[in-house]
Every structure is written in structure tokens, then in C-alpha cells.
Chain A
């Protein structure tokens, strides 16, 4: 593992920006800012009138690093230790689970909790616990 510094202020500020984005999306489209839901609906059979908006939101997510690089001259560190096989398995499970469980960290963890949804609270507790158990096994299991 690689140690990362605890960044309470930057994380609180970044979190507030994520919250602001969720509020703005609700204001603009009346939709929950659930990234997995928006991303999954880029594929058929969801070619409805809201498709361009979803694509624009995802494009904004992807291009955010370009904006940060242009305005600050650099990007923060990004360390990905997982190899290709792990990335593939992780991606499959994450995508499958997000659709199967009707949401991910943003839809359940941010928007759902903010709406005091019991389903989202259950989902958030379960994926946090599963994530922690997985990291424990991966790092300390053998």
C-alpha cells in the first residue's frame, strides 16, 4: 500500500462541491445525481429525450481533470495499484452491483442519505462493510 495524507479541509470542500452538483442537477432536471444510474442509461433502451443531458453530465465528469489542469497547472496524485485482471473483475462487480442495487456511492451515499431513504442507508452500510471486508482480505488476508 501507499500511504495517503489525511486531507480534512480539501475533502470537506470537495464533498461540498459534489453536494452542490447534486443540488443543481435536482434543480435543473429533477433527477438524482446517481452516477451509476446516469452512466448505465447511456445504453439502450434508454434513448429518450434525456439522453443528451446524461451524456453531457458524464462528459463533464470526464473532462473535469482537463479543467483542473488548465486552471491550476497540474493534477493531484493518482495511484492505481490494481493490475489489469483485478481492474476487470472490480469493474464488472462494481457495475453489476450498482445496477442490481439501484445505485452507487453518489446515488445512495450522497443523495439517498440526504433524503433520509431507508433503502439508501441499508445500501450505504452494506457497500461500506463489503468494501472494508474486501480491503482487509486483500491486504491482510494471507
Chain B
């Protein structure tokens, strides 16, 4: 049961990406192109996607978290870290460069696979390689100072 629900939740996410236009990298890149503002080619749509998503999530999280526990799990697993360390700057900086190069971030890239796009397939394969590389790098002995593993859930 939980699996079908999570499949449906993934579907809703993907449909949201398609409806919002974010499954089209050209639209993302035209948002990121600040020089497009004076040129008149800027596409502010992504800001509206963020606004719609954050508004619903902000209200929804507040309500859901007031419930004692999630429907299919024992407890809520929320990120607890609050410190702004070097990794929270360096990681997103690297991520942002990749995002700006192709216009893909992980969600839209996965949804683009369902369009039958071979470009998306190349991107997603490289993305998974990058993820595994980051996890491996985080565990290198020379990085022993970094006590926490690269944990994507620690937002």
C-alpha cells in the first residue's frame, strides 16, 4: 500500500514539473539568464514555480507535522542540522554550475527520462556517477576531519 502511495506521490511531483514547464531545460536556462532581463528574453516562470511550491509546502508541513506521526512510518525524520558549514556552500556552488550548464536538476532530469529523451539519459547516468563519487569522496581518509557522511537527507 505504502509503495503505491509513494508511486502516486512521485507521479504528482513529475506532473507538477511538467505542468510548471520545469521539465524543459530551455525554460530553466532562460530564468537563470540574468542578461535576459534588460534584453527582454528573461523567463521568470521558475520563480512562480518556487512560490507555488513553497506556499503549499509551508502551509502543508505545518499541518502534517502537527499529526503525531506519519501514516506509514513510526516518526517524522526531519533534518536537524542548523550550522552553516563549508559544505553547504561548496556543494550548492558545484550543483549550480552543473544546473546552469544543461538546465537540468535531479527532479526534472528524471522526469525528462519519461519523455524518451536520450540527452536526459546521458545526464542522469552522469548525475548518478557524480552522486556516488561525492559519497566516496566524503569517506576518504584525508577527509577524516569531516565527521558527518555525505547525507542527502540532512538538508
Chain A residues within CB distance 8 Å of chain B: 1-8, 10-41, 43, 52-54, 56-68, 75-82, 84, 86-115, 117-120, 122-124, 126-136, 138-140
Asked if A104 contacts B114 (CB within 8 A), the reply is: no
Interface of A is mostly: helix
Residues from chain B with a CB closer than 8 A to the CB of A118 are 82, 84
Q: A18-B17, A19-B53, A106-B106 are in contact. Are A91 and B91 (CB under 8 A)?
A: no
* A104→B107 CA distance, assembly (Å): 9
Whether, in the assembled complex, B78 has its beta carbon less than 8 Å from a beta carbon of chain A, the answer is: yes
Annotate B79-92 by CB proximity to A: 1 below 8 A, 0 otherwise. 10111100111111
A-B contact pairs, 21 of them (CB 8 A): A12-B49, A13-B19, A17-B13, A19-B60, A26-B65, A27-B64, A28-B2, A30-B69, A32-B77, A53-B3, A59-B10, A78-B23, A80-B103, A87-B102, A91-B127, A95-B131, A95-B134, A101-B90, A105-B105, A117-B79, A117-B82
Asked if A97 contacts B117 (CB within 8 A), the reply is: no
Asked if B92 contacts A101 (CB within 8 A), the reply is: yes
Residues from chain B with a CB closer than 8 A to the CB of A67 are 11, 14-15
Q: A61-B13, A82-B119 are in contact. Are A100 and B87 (CB under 8 A)?
A: yes
Picked from B3, B27, B82, B90, the residue with its CB within 8 Å of the CB of A100 is B90
Q: A90-B101, A100-B91 are in contact. Are A59 and B7 (CB under 8 A)?
A: yes
Residues from chain B with a CB closer than 8 A to the CB of A134 are 32, 96-97, 99-101
Picked from A13, A38, A108, the residue with its CB within 8 Å of the CB of B92 is A108
Residues from chain B with a CB closer than 8 A to the CB of A133 are 96-97, 100
Annotate B12-27 by CB proximity to A: 1 below 8 A, 0 otherwise. 1111111111111111
Asked if A37 contacts B135 (CB within 8 A), the reply is: no
How far, in Å, is B83 (CB) from chain A's closest CB? Answer: 7
Asked if A64 contacts B18 (CB within 8 A), the reply is: yes
Q: Which of A41, A92, A115, A140 has the most CB of B within 10 A?
A: A92
How far, in Å, is B69 (CB) from chain A's closest CB? Answer: 7
How far, in Å, is B98 (CB) from chain A's closest CB? Answer: 3
How many chain B residues touch the partner (CB < 8 A)? Answer: 122
The residue on A at minimum CB distance from B47 is A11
Picked from A43, A56, A62, A109, the residue with its CB within 8 Å of the CB of B131 is A43
Asked if B123 contacts A91 (CB within 8 A), the reply is: yes
Asked if B100 contacts A131 (CB within 8 A), the reply is: yes
Q: A62-B111, A66-B114, A97-B98 are in contact. Are A139 and B33 (CB under 8 A)?
A: yes
Q: A4-B30, A28-B70, A131-B96 are in contact. Are A57 and B131 (CB under 8 A)?
A: no
Q: A27-B70, A65-B114 are in contact. Are A60 and B24 (CB under 8 A)?
A: no
Residues from chain B with a CB closer than 8 A to the CB of A10 are 19-21, 45
Asked if A37 contacts B155 (CB within 8 A), the reply is: yes
